[in-house]
Amino acid sequence: MTKKIICYVITAIWIVLLSGCNTPPDRKYYRDGKQYGQVNGLFRQRWWNFYERGNSFSDGGFWEEAASDYRQALEQRDRDQRSARTYGMHFTDYFPHRDLGVAYYYLGKYEEAETELERSLSESDSGKTKFYLNKVRGALLKASNRDTSAPEINVFSVAGGLVTNKSVIKVEGEVEDDSYAEKITINSVPVFVELSAKKLPFSKQIKLKKGTNEIKIRALDLTGKAAEKKIRVIADFEGPLVNLTDFADGQRVTDSRVVLNGILADATGITGFVINDKIFKHNREKRVGFSHAVDLREGKNRIAFSATDVAGNTTSGELNLIYVPKPAAGKQYSGYERNTGEPIRLVLQGSGVLDTGRHRLFAVSMPGYKRTDFRLALKDLVDTQTVYYDTIYIDGSVTCSSEIDSVKINGSTVFIIPGRTIYFNQLVELFEGKNIISIEARDARGNSISKTVTIVRKVPKIHQVGSRMSLAIMPFEIKGQATSASTIVYDNLVSSFFNQNRFNIVSRGAELEAALRELKLSATELVDKSKAVKVGRLVAAEGILTGSIRETKDSLEIYARLINTETSTLFDARDVYGQSKTLSRIQYLTNGLALKFKHSFPLLEGMVVKVDGKNIFADFGSIQHIKKEMKFIVFREGELIVHPVTGKVLGSETEELGVATVVKVFEDISMGKLEADFHPDKIRVEDLIITK
């Protein structure tokens, strides 16, 4: 009897061992030479065993078996969650509702799939969930024929036919659909959209070129119905042309009243013209003549004028005329040096000749005198200067005895009407650092004159990328069936974060390798959060970005975590998912992931509303996505910097007063604790704030 009992026990043990074996006995779970429905270790009938085996069945396309395992996992643990604890200190990403929804989708059970996917999304955000929810909704719409019309595109920020002098505009709007809008492109560049919706907002900065710009917005819904909208925006960076036909700057005249004749011209239309205090209104004429009488006093007379166009560009200048009354024989007269206008005593000696008493003879200026020199002048600009703006107006004038037929700024032709005295204006975009601006004019005879100025653009320290949150991007763990797609994700991810200009990327590539060598670590060891944090601290990063790239034969999932190196706590975690592995699609996914973190850590400017010791209260809160452990900088605008020669305002630098860490967040206000290196005595209400 005892031997029989022992045999039964041994047989039972073998049955249990076989049931927990990685290899199912049924050969039908083989596909393309690979076995599916496996788990690592013994199968102990726990929720993580069912979930792991369900994932293995899914990888092989055995959807009925996968769905069965997911349902059994849900009976034991009914909630989707990142980093769910299994046993001991072991964790796994657990998405049974999501993956059951995927299985139902491939089984054609669309309504059940939609229920599971929506449940998953309510519990834990996931790019894969959104991807399949789009597919399920599309399948339901096609089956029901409920989608009856194409999407409607509404643009709020830009009207068609807009004329602007801005080099960059923001296009904002919304796509609305009777069912679900899914895709949006602006000028053929896809807007990052994960989840379809009846209303999809969009916002994109558009760089404008001179002249007419066509902005094309295209939208698709889940059934493939398309809509398109075109908006034309005219970018005008040139002020109106002012052409004086009868007088040149610095000319002497013998009449106490002169009539200024000339032409105004502008590609987009003129709205106003002012000569001294006289205002002339215009109704968007593109070319118009003017005639205006001006009374002169003896000596130098400054005649100021300005012309404005539809875009808001203004060309301003001044005409200096020296009034010398006609001389009479045998009398003394006051005269003026030709170039300086300096008063001198003149004694008439003969017809048209005056003795200055300085052993020099000067000819009296007679009506109709024209300067013979070729002169190019720039208003409010010196050869080299520093500004704190991102654009600058080049205000200039050209005078020549023969007709001027061309003016160029940095090789680009300025619109002019040939004439002897021309005033021009152009808005020039400045890049950070040194900007060389060259101006050249030519006359009808082929003569030319040119001038070059150097403008150094400085970005106030507080607005530089270097003042933002410093971030080290670690190598990501590669999981699943790695191919070349996984290997290029990291480089694209670094580029995407760098191009966002939201974070100060302090470690990547060579810098990261140097830190790893110093700590005697390999890239694969950075999967360990504590070791990754050490590397981040070594390279002076306030945060580290780490995560995983999971690849299957037909999908790619990128999961990233942003960790605070000071506290080792998780700032935020985001993921993206796609089923195309082309380079353009990988770039779309990495750009989308970087955009998610940019939205999660918004770059906001605000104001100090209260100071209580080291507690600094800011006027932004949870509505603006402020979260604990974020930092903000308190600063104050410095005095305006004015050029000592030209008097032109060049901008202002900023003064940093302190850095605070957010410790409390309310709906529309947050409290930051000032760091030890800074003193609250320097900070006052209405000082400015920008998130780090």
| Residue 122 burial by Cβ neighbours in a 10 Å radius (0-12, 13-18, 19+) | exposed
**CA dist., res. 364 & res. 167, Å (int):** 50
Secondary structure letter of residue 575 according to DSSP: E
CATH architecture assignment, domain 605-691: Beta Barrel (2.40)
Q: What angle do CA 206, 606, 595 make, to 5 degrees?
A: 40
Q: Which fold has domain 241-324+365-457?
A: Immunoglobulin-like (2.60.40)
Residues 398, 369 contacting (CB under 8 angstroms): no
pLDDT of residue 332: 52
Residues 606, 618 contacting (CB under 8 angstroms): yes
54: left (phi over 0), alpha (psi -120 to 50) or beta: alpha
Compute CA 532 distance to the chain's CA centroid, rounded to the nearest angstrom. 30
**Tokens standing for 595?**
């955009």
Q: Do domains 152-235 and 605-691 have the same CATH topology?
A: no
**CA dist., res. 62 & res. 70, Å (int):** 12
**CA dist., res. 574 & res. 369, Å (int):** 75
209: left (phi over 0), alpha (psi -120 to 50) or beta: beta
What residue has token string 């039972």?
A: 12
**CA dist., res. 321 & res. 341, Å (int):** 9
**Tokens standing for 243?**
């052409």
**Tokens standing for 19?**
């049931």
**Helical pair 529-538 and 510-519, crossing angle rounded to 10 deg:** 110
**CA dist., res. 547 & res. 562, Å (int):** 9
The strand pairing partners of 396, in sequence order, are 378, 424
**CA dist., res. 438 & res. 434, Å (int):** 13
**Tokens standing for 61?**
């396309």
Among candidates 48, 41, 130, which has minimal Cα distance to 83? 48
**CA dist., res. 103 & res. 263, Å (int):** 75
CA count, 13 A, side-chain hemisphere, 329: 4
Q: Whole-prediction pTM value?
A: 0.81
Secondary structure letter of residue 432 according to DSSP: S
Can you give the residue ranges of every domain in the chain? Answer: 2-144, 152-235, 241-324+365-457, 463-600, 605-691
Largest pairwise CA distance in the chain:
156
Among candidates 296, 158, 302, which has minimal Cα distance to 229? 158
**CA dist., res. 624 & res. 182, Å (int):** 26
pLDDT of residue 91: 84
Which residues are CB-neighbours of 6 under 8 A, at least 6 positions away?
none
Spell out where 70-112 has E strands: 81-85, 91-94
Strand pairing of 299-309 and 257-275? antiparallel
Where are the alpha helices (H) located in 442-582, listed in sequence order? Answer: 484-500, 510-519, 529-538
**SS3 for 72?**
helix
| pLDDT profile of the chain (692 residues), mean per 10 | 48 44 57 87 92 94 96 96 84 94 97 97 95 96 90 91 92 95 95 95 94 96 95 94 87 92 93 93 92 94 94 91 75 49 49 40 37 78 91 90 90 88 91 95 91 94 92 89 84 93 84 78 78 87 92 91 93 94 94 96 95 95 94 92 78 91 96 92 94 95
Per-residue model confidence as pLDDT tens digits over 432-461? 999 999 999 998 888 999 999 999 999 999
**CA dist., res. 552 & res. 483, Å (int):** 9
pLDDT of residue 13: 45
**CA dist., res. 380 & res. 287, Å (int):** 27
3-state secondary structure 164-218: ECCCEEEEEEEEEEEEEEEEEEECCEECCCCCCEEEEEEEEEEECCCEEEEEEEE
Strand pairing of 384-387 and 448-457? parallel
Tell me the one-letter amino acid at 178.
Answer: D
pLDDT of residue 327: 67
Q: Which fold has domain 463-600?
A: Rossmann fold (3.40.50)
**CA dist., res. 685 & res. 222, Å (int):** 51
Q: In the CATH scheme, what is the code of domain 152-235?
A: 2.60.40.10
CATH classification number, 2-144, choose in 2.30.30.40, 3.20.20.140, 3.10.105.10, 1.25.40.10: 1.25.40.10
Tell me the one-letter amino acid at 24.
Answer: P
For the chain, give the number of residues: 692
| Residue 393 burial by Cβ neighbours in a 10 Å radius (0-12, 13-18, 19+) | buried
